[in-house]
Amino acid sequence: MRPRSVLTALTVLLIALLAPLGASAHATAAPSATFGKSSDWGSGWEGRFTLTNGSSTTINGWRVEFDLPAGTSIGTYWDSLLTKDGQHHTFQHREYNATIPPGGSVTFGFLGNGPGAPENCTFNGQPCTGDPQEPGELGKPGTPTITARTDSSLTLSWQAATGTPTGYRVYEGSDLRTTVTGTTATISGLTPCSTHSYTVRAYDADGESPASTAVTGTTTGCTTGPLPRHFLTGYWHDFVNPAEELRLSQVPDEYDLIAVAFGEATTRPGEVTFRVDPELSAALGGYTDAQFKADLAALQNAGKKVILSVGGERGAIRVADAASAQLFADSVRGLMTEYGFDGVDIDLENGLDPTYMEQALRTLHAATGSGLIITMAPQTIDMQSTAGSYFRLALNIKDILTVVHMQYYNSGTMLGCDQKVYGQGTVDFMTALACIQLENGLRPDQIALGLPAGPGAAGGGVVAPAMVNDALDCLAKGTNCGSFTPSRTYPGIRGAMTWSINWDVTNGGAFSRTVGPHLDTLP
């Protein structure tokens, strides 16, 4: 689809004004969807679709699907609901614009990144141009979704194809997996933690419809790595702030994973360095690197894991080319060897390049082995869309990623997966935003809830620890939800994170003593 030039648009308008009424009515006999870029600034653009009902019957509910070429993505959108599967995008109506009367129209829009534009567009299963489907021809089924998972099966559901199909065939690549008469199918005999991609075709005596957009799903039973099924993460400060200063040996026992904050940048791009902060050392009466290493080893002997977090609010680490990616991997590996760290946490709050950070982490993983722990601590804005750099990185390294513990604080209001606005400090904020990650490619065992450990720990989003437990129950078991209830449960949800252990101790340990034991009650 290409935007019309101004001259073309004026020509079309003139022809429309001069044409006989009968010809005009005939030309708009079918619903159509017209795309145009209302503005374009080189690296991005604003796009709008106008949906016109040229038929004589009311449209109750609409769906526009299209593909975008590689290198083009969608960010903010409005007056619609969006789901994505790779480069395939599906926009659907909101509750207030679902109906299009005969002769009426609605619009929706979005911001695009990159040079491309929508391709292979359909409007309610028909070409966006309004060209009618031939009588008796089967339209392609709606985009399938994964509605259930087990260790050995995936269940798919899809919208019916137009026409009168005899049934549906589900394919994995070119291989037929099953044939059904309805619009759901369960593919069995799969291996645990295996990923599969399926398309669906309607069929009748004359043949098959075009294939649906592919859906990809992963069975349950994934190995969760060298950590418990559900675990509690806390950050330990390597600096002085109003929270209580602690030695590693003073970390409460409820914590399973300790993230040391922070590894710092050097003058060499990508390089990470670490030592016990001199001001902290002095506040603790002379805490040395040797004592830190001994405390770290003692935690590991007690069954804990300790990783190095890089970045933070003021972090200046930059990995933006192959050389800095290699230096990042080499320097982090060196610190793991020197101090005994079990992995790395990516907390780059000032932006990251997903391509080269992926390269750095894969190089590190190849050098250290499958026991490497990789965590991420993005801000809420970083995980609103799969087009964001943090979300892209998480999906790109899904096979080696341990967990994402997004920061559900210092955030204000954000959109949930139902496209409703939620304010921080509520159960709904946690569950509706976690749903975005859970329904857009990450496994439940790769998602944890990151919350402040009480007053002083954050500027906003502080919640009672019991509310964190409610959010975990809602996601894992479907109980104790607020007004938002996920469409399904996620028993494998990994756990919780807090900023920080120091603030938790300062506030009497309420977070770890409340949330830590509750994790053992999850499925």
Domain 143-219 has CATH 2.60.40.10: yes
Least confident of 66-75, 340-349, 425-434: 66-75
Q: Is 13 helix (H, G, I), strand (E, B) or coil?
A: helix
Least confident of 20-29, 137-146, 226-235, 247-256: 20-29
219 falls in which pLDDT band (50, 70, 90)?
A: confident
Q: Is the pLDDT of residue 21 over 60?
A: no
The pLDDT tens digits of the residues spanning 81-90 come to 888 877 899 9
Determine what percent of the chain is predicted with pLDDT higher than 70: 90
For residue 504, the Cα-to-chain-centroid distance in whole angstroms is 28
Q: Is the pLDDT of residue 15 over 70?
A: no
Q: Mean pLDDT over residues 12-16, rounded?
A: 37
Whole-number pLDDT of residue 307: 97
Going by C-beta distance under 8 Å and a sequence separation of 6 or more, which residues neighbour residue 443?
218, 222, 398, 492
Measured CA to CA in angstroms, residue 102 lies from 57, 105, 311 at distances of 6, 9, 56
More confident residue, 281 or 149: 281
Q: Is the pLDDT of residue 412 over 50?
A: yes
The pLDDT tens digits of the residues spanning 186-209 come to 999 998 877 788 999 999 998 899
Q: Is 63 helix (H, G, I), strand (E, B) or coil?
A: strand
Please give the positions annotated as active site: 349
Q: Is the pLDDT of residue 18 over 60?
A: no
More confident residue, 96 or 70: 96
7 falls in which pLDDT band (50, 70, 90)?
A: very low
Would you say 272 and 238 are in contact if contact means Cβ atoms under 8 Å apart? no
Q: Is the pLDDT of residue 70 over 90?
A: no
Whole-number pLDDT of residue 134: 60
Q: Mean pLDDT over residues 168-185, rounded?
A: 93
Whole-number pLDDT of residue 460: 93
To the nearest 10°, report the CA torsion of 41, 381, 83, 424: -140
Token pair 């040229």 is found at 54
Q: Mean pLDDT over residues 330-340, rounded?
A: 93
Q: Is the pLDDT of residue 478 over 60?
A: yes
More confident residue, 21 or 100: 100
Whole-number pLDDT of residue 6: 37
42 falls in which pLDDT band (50, 70, 90)?
A: low
More confident residue, 127 or 235: 235
- CB-CB neighbours of 459 under 10 Å: 10
Whole-number pLDDT of residue 135: 56
Q: Is the pLDDT of residue 220 over 80?
A: no
- CB-CB neighbours of 506 under 10 Å: 20
- Cα–Cα distance for residue pair 506/338, rounded to 1 Å: 30
Whole-number pLDDT of residue 479: 93
Q: Same CATH topology for 30-127 and 143-219?
A: yes
29 falls in which pLDDT band (50, 70, 90)?
A: low
Q: Mean pLDDT over residues 130-158, rounded?
A: 79
Run of H or E residues at 279:
helix 278-283
Q: Is the pLDDT of residue 91 over 80?
A: yes
Q: Which CATH architecture best describes the domain 231-520?
A: Alpha-Beta Barrel (3.20)
Note the helical H segments in 193-271. none
Rounded to 10 deg, the angle between the 510-519 and 465-477 helix axes is: 20
Whole-number pLDDT of residue 83: 85
Whole-number pLDDT of residue 242: 96
9 falls in which pLDDT band (50, 70, 90)?
A: very low
Whole-number pLDDT of residue 349: 72
Q: Mean pLDDT over residues 384-402, rounded?
A: 91
DSSP 296: H
- Cα–Cα distance for residue pair 299/14, rounded to 1 Å: 78
CATH number, domain 30-127, options 2.60.40.290, 3.40.50.620, 3.40.50.880, 3.30.2010.10: 2.60.40.290
Burial class (CB in 10 A: 0-12, 13-18, 19+), 18: exposed
Least confident of 11-15, 372-376, 395-399: 11-15
Would you say 478 and 433 are in contact if contact means Cβ atoms under 8 Å apart? no
- Cα–Cα distance for residue pair 202/139, rounded to 1 Å: 8
Q: Mean pLDDT over residues 486-499, rounded?
A: 93
Least confident of 123-137, 293-307, 447-461: 123-137
Whole-number pLDDT of residue 41: 67
Q: Is the pLDDT of residue 23 over 50?
A: no
Q: Mean pLDDT over residues 302-330, rounded?
A: 89
Tell me the pLDDT of the chain averaged across its residues: 87
**Domain boundaries in the chain?**
30-127, 143-219, 231-520
